[in-house]
Amino acid sequence: MAGRAQPVNPTPGIGAATLIAVLILGTLAAVALRADSASGFGPADWSALRFTLVQAVLSAIFSAGLAVPVARALARRRFRGRAVLIALLGAPFILPVIVAIIGLLQVFGRAGWISDVLAVFGLPPIRIYGLHGVVLAHVFFNLPLATRLILQGWQEIPSERFRLAAQLGCNGWAMFRLIEMPMLARILPGVLAVVFAICLTSFAVALTLGGGPRATTIELAIYQAFTYDFNLGRAALLSGVQLVLTATAALAALRFSRGDGFGAGLDRSIRRWDEGTRAFDAFWISAAAVFLLLPLTSVVISGLSGVFEISVLVYRAALISVLVAAASTVVLLLLALPMAMTVATGRYGIVELCGILGLAASPLVIGTGLFILIRPLANPTVLALPVTALVNAVMALPFALRILVPSTREVVAQYGRLALSLDMSRWSFVTRILLPRLRPQIGFAAGLAAALSTGDLGVIALFADAQIATLPLQIYRLMGAYQMEAAAGGALLLLALSMGAFWLLDRGGRWHAEA
Amino acid sequence: MKHLLIAAGILSATSAIAADKPQLTVFTYDSFVSDWGPGPQVKEAFEAVCDCELNLVGVEDGAALLSRIRLEGENSDADVVLGLDTNLIAAAKETGLFAPSSVSAEYTLPVEWNDDVFAPYDWGYFAFVHNADAAAPANFRELADGDTKIIIQDPRSSTPGLGLLLWVKAAYGDEAPEIWAGLADNIVTVTKGWSEAYGLFLEGEADMVLSYTTSPAYHLIAEEDASKAAAAFDEGHYMQVEVAGKLAGTNQPELADQFLQFMVSDAFQQIIPTTNWMYPAVTPAAGLPEGFDTLTVPEKSLLLDSDQAAAVRDEALAEWLGALSQ
């Protein structure tokens, strides 16, 4: 191998990245090749593109921007219930879209809780529908994720740096400028890119909160191309546009997020000497908690009234969902860990780019493409569950990489040369040094993947038959059959399962550390 | 271990018997095959008479169902497609994938039915559902002039949404854009599908929601709740007629014909009202279930035939987008 010797083998990661690229570009090509005619970009597509970009940019800026003070407050304070709050932060992200929409509007809608309170004072209900509503909903989904990613950045600053800064008499602002700003400069671009990519493929949320066809996104246009027009060429073209936009954002993020790390520490637990203003941190923590927990509370309250209507069919679907989530988590780790190692060697930025494409790809295009590819070989319905597990893993990959890459890079940079000088085998380096040190990140990534997979409808709707249903699909079916209360009960069960899986894996990774 | 062997033996024996039987594959929409839909009962009833195995495969909704058939093309796994509606018939026929069928029945539809390819199995009227204790407007103009808030579905992603588009077009023709402009400030929001809209309505987010005249029957029969009603509009109500057809490429043509004929018989039709919550295409001998007699019955039925619907669809969508994107 040319170049500098590396403590980890980049080849498996390159293989995993190639697999992802083949899956995403291959399915897109499969759809494009089935198209009868080429298709151009009409005026309606341009306006959809414009709206999609505007809302995704605003959503990314607000989610990441608001997440900074929240994460900083959480990083500086220790209080009772902090661990529970951080775990609950994962919840909005994993709710099925339809459940989250109804939960959000129960709080922020015309007849929502806030409007009820306003009515007491003789004020008109809040007007939630419009671009601001779309951004609010996307912040609800993504603020928690952004907070967790940024918080992790804070936790990865070795405690010795804070100690040294305190000894040198750094006050709050100097501490922020010298230690925290460089960390944010490294972490934020990636967070912005991930949230941007998620919001780029928004459809039902954008339409409903946007209040009508003004809020038409590219994803809606793709759906329309598939079902209303059956114009596969247009679907493939629009999906290609999504991919290009996401790739551009990801490349920009990679470019801007360069910067040196903080060096190795002795893994002491972090202690801060810059107390700062308590009220400031308290404000951000409670504001975020109220904003995120109110809609969740409404989901829980609705769910409690339907909890006795959860039938055995729903429990069976829940079991299937848990199995799919478990498989999906394993697949995710098998893809993400080698890819993170490859990226950590510093010479394969393209691998990181492949990883983020999973977010950009329209699930409808991946699903249809897989269907076209699988059908000549096997009955797609029989493969519904494995395909769902695989696609869920690919969708979770960008998050996993954002979680794993910074720490992997750090470990390789700090311990790589020592390992090489000791003539340590790559296998020993990975199993003895890298994986043990990545344990919290692996736990977090696995927890997120399991929770996402449990909650996501994924591609199952394209493949399912009567006998196989995951929990999200079963919830949709209940709603379609007027059984809103039973569906709400199912949603509560889903929330509990997802949170349980997340808690278990995330805790498992951090059992020795304080959160 | 011995038990396991016996179990395995029994299992393989039953699957061997099942494999000997002819298989009929019916593609339909997802809510048909769900445990709360007609699917499970239909499967049982048909298998009791056909000496075959009925495989029901669910695909999202009617429009996605047609896309799937187009995607699979001439060597589709499906023998029968059940769940298209009149608005999709023209596009379905254009594919050339469907074969004429010999189904005959005394349909109890409010309109004449003479399509040689597709046979109807149920139908309903689109309507705005509201709380029975609240006053409802008597037509679209009154709705547009008042401040009643409604939630509708997007015609690009939802069957009822498209139905509403054609409803306004069928009732008002060239005046449709004017009606939509008037309705713009009544529309709270537009949803991707029926479930979001109906769920939000039940949470009180709007006064009325686009659904069917048969929706109150669900609340009345399944929940013993008489609090929902459908508003009767005096310009008439647009109909949805749901149909099924046989694929030309089927390798089970006789069985497919048998299924379609079974579909319009009492055994199938009596399952429909309380599982699909629609009117059966042929009223069963036993009549409609109790509660259906309380439903709003429009004085006038509106329905564009499949060619007309296909012809005006894109124009109506452009008008809708124009009026609501202001």
Per residue in A73-86, pLDDT (tens digit) is: 998 888 888 888 88
Q: Tens of pLDDT along B231-253? A: 999 999 999 999 999 999 999 99
Q: What pLDDT was estimated at residue A203?
A: 86
Given a cut of 80, is residue A478 above it in pLDDT? Answer: yes
Q: Which of A106, A111, A476 has its CB closest to that of B195? A: A476
pLDDT reading at B264 higher than 90: yes
What's B233's DSSP letter? P
- Angle in degrees, 0-180, between the axes of helices A363-374 and A232-256, rounded to the nearest 10: 120
State which amino acid sits at residue A322: V
Q: What is the pLDDT of residue A264?
A: 60
Question: CB distance A44–B321 less than 8 Å?
Answer: yes
Q: Which residues of A touch B39 (CB under 8 A)?
A: 466
Give the pLDDT confidence of A235-270 residue by residue, as tens digits.
899 999 999 998 888 888 877 776 556 666 666 666
Mean pLDDT for chain A?
85
From the candidates B24, B156, B211, which should be mutated to test the interface with A, based on the most A CB atoms within 10 A?
B156
3-state secondary structure of B78: coil
Residue from B162, B192, B198, B211 to probe the interface with A (highest A Cβ count within 10 Å): B192
- Tell me whether residues B203 and A483 touch, CB distance under 8 A: no
CB A447 within 8 A of CB A94: no
Minimal-distance CA residue of chain B relative to A203: B192
Nearest CA among A100, A54, A121 for reference residue A472: A100
Determine which of B26, B154, B186, B209 to mutate to test the interface with A (most A C-beta atoms within 10 Å): B154
**Yes or no, beta carbons of A102 and B200 under 8 Å apart:** yes
pLDDT at B1: 41
How do residues A403-434 score in pLDDT, each as one tens digit? Answer: 898 888 888 888 888 888 888 888 888 888 88
Whether residue A230 and residue B70 make contact (CB cut-off 8 A), yes or no, is yes
Q: Closest partner residue to A101 among B70, B196, B324, by Cβ?
A: B196
Provide ipTM, 2 decimals. 0.87
Global pTM value: 0.89
Chain B (120-179) residues lying within 8 Å, Cβ to Cβ, of chain A: 149, 154-157
Burial class for B15, CB neighbours closer than 10 Å (0-12, 13-18, 19+): exposed
Mean pLDDT value across chain B:
91
Identify which of A34, A110, A464 has the shortest CB distance to residue B205. Answer: A110
Task: State how far the Cα of A24 lies from the Cα of A20, in Å rounded to an integer.
Answer: 6
Q: What confidence score (pLDDT) does residue B3 get?
A: 53
Identify which of B299, B128, B114, B90 has the alpha carbon closest to the alpha carbon of residue B229.
B128
Put simply, the answer to whether B71 touches A129 (Cβ < 8 Å) is no
Cβ separation B200–A207 shorter than 8 A: no
Of residues B209 and A24, more confidently modeled: B209
In sequence order, what DSSP letters do the residues of A243-300 get, joined into one string?
Answer: HHHHHHHHHHHHHHT----------PPP--S----HHHHHHHHHHHHHHHHHHHHHHH
d(CA B249, CA A194): 46
B142/A69 Cα distance (integer angstroms): 50
SS3 B172: helix
- Look at residue B11 in the predicted model and tell me its pLDDT: 42
What pLDDT shows up at residue B53? Answer: 94
**Which of B30, B88, B164 would best serve as a mutation to test chain A binding (most A beta carbons within 10 A)?**
B30
Q: Is B206 left (phi over 0), alpha (psi -120 to 50) or beta?
A: beta
- Whether residues A465 and B57 touch (CB distance < 8 A) is answered with yes
Beta-carbon separation of A372 and B71 below 8 A: yes
> Across the A/B interface, how many CB contacts are shorter than 8 Å?
149
Candidate from B149, B202, B215 with C-beta closest to A484 = B202
Residue scoring higher pLDDT (A401 or A267): A401
At residue B2 the predicted structure's pLDDT band, cuts being 50, 70 and 90, is very low
Q: Could you tell me which chain A residue has the CA closest to the CA of B95? A: A230
Q: Would you say residue A54 has pLDDT above 80?
A: yes
Integer Cα distance of A457 and A490 in angstroms: 14
H/E stretch holding B189: strand B187-191
Which amino acid is present at A507? Answer: R
Q: Per the CB < 8 Å rule, is B67 touching A227?
A: yes
**What pLDDT does A261 receive?**
60
Are B40 and A466 in contact (CB < 8 Å)? yes
For A271-309, the pLDDT digits (tens) are: 666 666 788 889 999 999 999 999 999 999 989 988 888
CA atoms within 13 A on the CB side of B144: 14
pLDDT at B14: 44
**Residue B199 with chain A: CB contacts under 8 Å:** 98, 102, 479, 484, 487
Q: Is the CB of residue B189 less than 8 Å from the CB of residue B95?
A: no
Once rounded to an integer, what is the mean pLDDT over residues A168-182?
A: 79
Q: What is the mean pLDDT of residues B103-122?
A: 93
Residue A511 has pLDDT above 60, yes or no: no
DSSP per residue over A176-218, as a string? IIIIIHHHHHHHHHHHHHHHHHHHHT--HHHHHHHTSGGG--H
User: How far does CA B94 lie from the centroid of its chain?
Assistant: 21
Q: Terminus-to-terminus CA distance in chain A, angstroms?
A: 40
Distance from CA of A469 to the nearest CA of B (A): 9
